[in-house]
Structure 1
Amino acid sequence: MSIQKSYKGSCFCGAVEFTVSGEPAAMGYCHCESCRHWSAAPVNAFTLWKPEAVQVTRGADNIGTYNKTPQSYRKWCKTCGGHIFTEHPGMGLIDVYAAVIPDLAYSPGVHVHYQEARLRIKDGLPKLKDVPCELGGSGVSVDE
């Protein structure tokens, strides 16, 4: 029997706490306009988890939700405004922002929506036009 690793995370002020367990389904960078605008940054570092791997342990009633599109339900702390995660129902995954899981060894494997990039990152990782085929995208590669 193997012991499943878990990681603690929280919003900016700590009013909302959560754990993620196991290993993420994927880690990478998203360059889409929506993620850039939401995060107020040129790129979003994501970790994708199955919903059952994400457990809010404190402050669930303090989580706000906004969905600009049916593909993304963005979650934040109502106290500090700190972004926590985004539910992606169509993919069956939750994006827990890499920055809010301090002990997770972040190891990106892909760049998604790279044709929208405002910050080019030449790191040798695959660069995709949208998302991988297995997540409902085209899987089409674009130049670094």
Structure 2
Amino acid sequence: MTNSKKTYKGSCFCGAVQFAVSGEPDGMGYCHCESCRRWSAGPVNAFTLWKPEMVEITLGAENIGTYSKTPHSYRKWCKTCGGHIFTEHPGMGLTDVYAAVIPDFPYHPGIHVHYQEAVLRIKDGLPKMKDGPKEMGGSGVSVAE
């Protein structure tokens, strides 16, 4: 990572795995899909999408576990505490670092994806997508708030 870009530090729940993200994410928002809800054990997942080279594991790389339900997502967690860290999306060429694990990052969501699956409706004026934007492999179809 270059020093000319702003860097934010994050970690798993216990701190055994630590990382840094640098620069600006390619996107931020909320995912309402069933997979993200079940993985996060919550009604919605706040995401930040980064190019993989902008994410650096700084401690505990050997302590990272991986689970892949589909070849589209490789979910990563800490083997000590079970804390979720990020998801690699190789088809998109992006890594989703969960907003909650980057405490000082200025999170500014811009979109809701997979909103047709929402179990918690959020009326915040942001665009709501049926699945995802076309440029990310989705239909690009918007749905009502």
TM-score, length-normalised on structure 1? Answer: 0.98
In the TM superposition, what is the alpha-carbon distance from 1:13 to its structure 2 partner?
Answer: 0.2
Q: How far does the alpha carbon of each residue in 1:81-114 deviate from its partner, in whole angstroms, 9 at most, with x for none?
A: 0000000011100000000000101000000000
In the TM superposition, what is the alpha-carbon distance from 1:131 to its structure 2 partner?
Answer: 1.0
Partner of 1:60: 61
Distance in 2 separating the partners of 1:137 and 1:92 = 15
Which amino acid in the other structure matches residue 123 of structure 1?
A: D
Unaligned stretches of 5+ residues in structure 2: none
Distance in 2 separating the partners of 1:116 and 1:47 = 20
In the TM superposition, what is the alpha-carbon distance from 1:74 to its structure 2 partner?
Answer: 0.2
Q: How far does the alpha carbon of each residue in 1:23-62 deviate from its partner, in whole angstroms, 9 at most, with x for none?
A: 0000000000000000000000000000000000000000
Partner of 2:13: 12
TM-score, length-normalised on structure 2? Answer: 0.97
Percent identity, aligned pairs only, is: 80
Partner of 1:22: 23
Give the 5 Å matches for 1:46-125.
46-125=47-126
Distance in 2 separating the partners of 1:117 and 1:125 = 14
In the TM superposition, what is the alpha-carbon distance from 1:3 to its structure 2 partner?
Answer: 2.5
Superposition misfits of 4+ residues, deviation over 6 angstroms: none
Which amino acid in the other structure matches residue 141 of structure 1?
A: S
Distance in 2 separating the partners of 1:69 and 1:111 = 22
Which amino acid in the other structure matches residue 131 of structure 2?
A: D
Partner of 1:139: 140
